[in-house]
Amino acid sequence: MLIPYIHCAMRQAHYEILEDRTYYGEIPCLDGVFANAKTLEECREQLMEVLEGWIILGLRLGHDFPEIDGIRLAAATENA
């Protein structure tokens, strides 16, 4: 479910050109997932890297993830 979640999240991304002519991208439904770069392609690549890191950290910390387009991620729990 990880790859479909990433693809769905990236489809939610919004991009804009800032006054300094750099590109800013974010995934509004995922707090803290944003990027800024000189080109749109670099911004997309950075945004995906930020998203991957955000997911990895969230899984390690056992966070709940928002559902995106009907896809949910859940951290595995260890049986005590």
Determine contact, residues 42/22, Cβ cutoff 8 Å. Answer: no
Cα–Cα distance between 48 and 7 in angstroms, integer? Answer: 9
**Ranges assigned E (strand) in the chain:** 14-17, 23-26, 34-37
Place of tokens 């479909």: 4
pLDDT of residue 80: 41
Phi then psi for residue 73, to 5 deg, are -110, 145
User: What domains does the chain contain, in order, with CATH numbers?
Assistant: 2-61 (3.30.160.250)
Walk along the chain (80 residues) and give the pLDDT tens digit of each residue.
Answer: 899 999 999 999 999 999 999 999 999 999 999 999 999 999 999 999 999 999 999 999 999 999 999 999 876 655 54
pLDDT of residue 78: 59
Strand partners of residue 24? 16, 36
pLDDT of residue 1: 81
- Report the predicted TM-score, pTM, of the whole model to 2 decimal places: 0.89
